[in-house]
Structure 1
Amino acid sequence: MNKSATSLLFVGLLATAVPVAKAQKAASEAEAVQQTVTAFFDGMRRGDSTAVRRTLAPAAVFHGFGGKPGQPPTLEIESINGFLKAVGTPHPAVWDERVTFERVLIDANLASVWAPYEFYLGSKFSHCGYDSFQLVKLADGWKIAHIIDTRRKEKCK
């Protein structure tokens, strides 16, 4: 093979390798984001507020969006410390939020997760909705900076 054909082959291989490497990095970052969200819910299921706290960025914010049937929805700010205290306080039934990762978007150190969920108290269905997570990549990995969710009892799977 002559020198110019070898050079063209090498350039062609590099051109195909770069997109593959970027796709692999994007997939591994998406997996890392999902692992953080999964760790949040695993900690919640175990009643382990310390494990849940490890998934949160400093100054994280929680919002809930919902309301009573027949009334306009309301946006509520939830206390992180109150949530963590509730998670860590023994309760009769396991808090089991089952999410499906519908979409994970990442740009540099910012990620957004869109995830439908069903919430169970033990084995009893409670409510459903969508979780929207905003995560940031800090020195120690992906952390949840914001959670907002919808909550309803009807029109669930």
Structure 2
Amino acid sequence: MKKILIILLAFASIHVTAQEEKEAVMKVVNQVFEAMRKNDSTLLKNCFVESPNTFTSFTNPEGISTLTKGDFQQFINAIGRPKEQVLNEPIWNEKVEIDDNLASVWVDYAFYIGDQFSHCGVDAFHLVKLDNEWKIFHLVDTRRRKDCEIPEGIKP
């Protein structure tokens, strides 16, 4: 009986630790979107390693699949620039996978400028745990303007 209790306590401890790590990873991802809403380039930059890779995947008007490499500094500058309307990117369907110091997050999103819908897609983040902190080192998103199934609670 004592052995079973020890095994159950160990399992519960592992589960709590795994859940805490998932929450820590999602905290970083959520800070990206908070930084966008607040025009806070410092908060945004703190979510990433020094030179992350960013990409966008989309189908161009001619129907050709395209992958473009982003410029992280331009992204930081764009977020920090004062705006009349809030950039809002609500997310849902979060999927988090973690192994050791590597994490992957896949989320559906819709992007709004103020209350105006711009596009939707998926954000795929890769994070690494360095000095006990999760940081994004790779971000790729898809973008489309149609065929977006946005849950009612997500729309402004």
Uncovered stretches (5+) of structure 2, i.e. residues with no partner: 150-156
8 Å CA contact 2:60–2:66 kept in 1: the answer is no
Equivalent pairs, count: 149
Match of 2:3 in 1: 11
* 2:152 maps to 1:152: no
Uncovered stretches (5+) of structure 1, i.e. residues with no partner: 1-8
Report the Cα distance in structure 1 between the residues aligned to 2:39 and 2:103, rounded to whole angstroms: 26
User: CA offset at residue 50 of structure 1?
Assistant: 0.5
8 Å CA contact 1:34–1:101 kept in 2: the answer is no
Match of 1:25 in 2: 17
User: CA offset at residue 130 of structure 1?
Assistant: 0.4
CA RMSD in angstroms, aligned pairs only: 1.1
Identity of aligned residues (%): 38
Report the Cα distance in structure 2 between the residues aligned to 1:94 and 1:68, rounded to whole angstroms: 27
Q: CA separation of 1:140/1:21 partners in 2, compared to 1, >3 Å: closer, same or farther?
A: closer
Judging by fraction of residues, say which structure has more helix.
Answer: 1
Q: Which has the larger radius of gyration?
A: 1
Match of 1:43 in 2: 35
Structure 1 runs, 4 residues or longer, greater than 6 Å off: none
1:67-114 CA deviation, whole Å, 9 max, x = no partner? 433421210110110100011112232111111142100001100001
Residue 116 of structure 1 aligns to which amino acid in structure 2?
Answer: D
Match of 2:91 in 1: 99
Report the Cα distance in structure 2 between the residues aligned to 1:85 and 1:67, rounded to whole angstroms: 26
User: CA offset at residue 11 of structure 1?
Assistant: 1.1
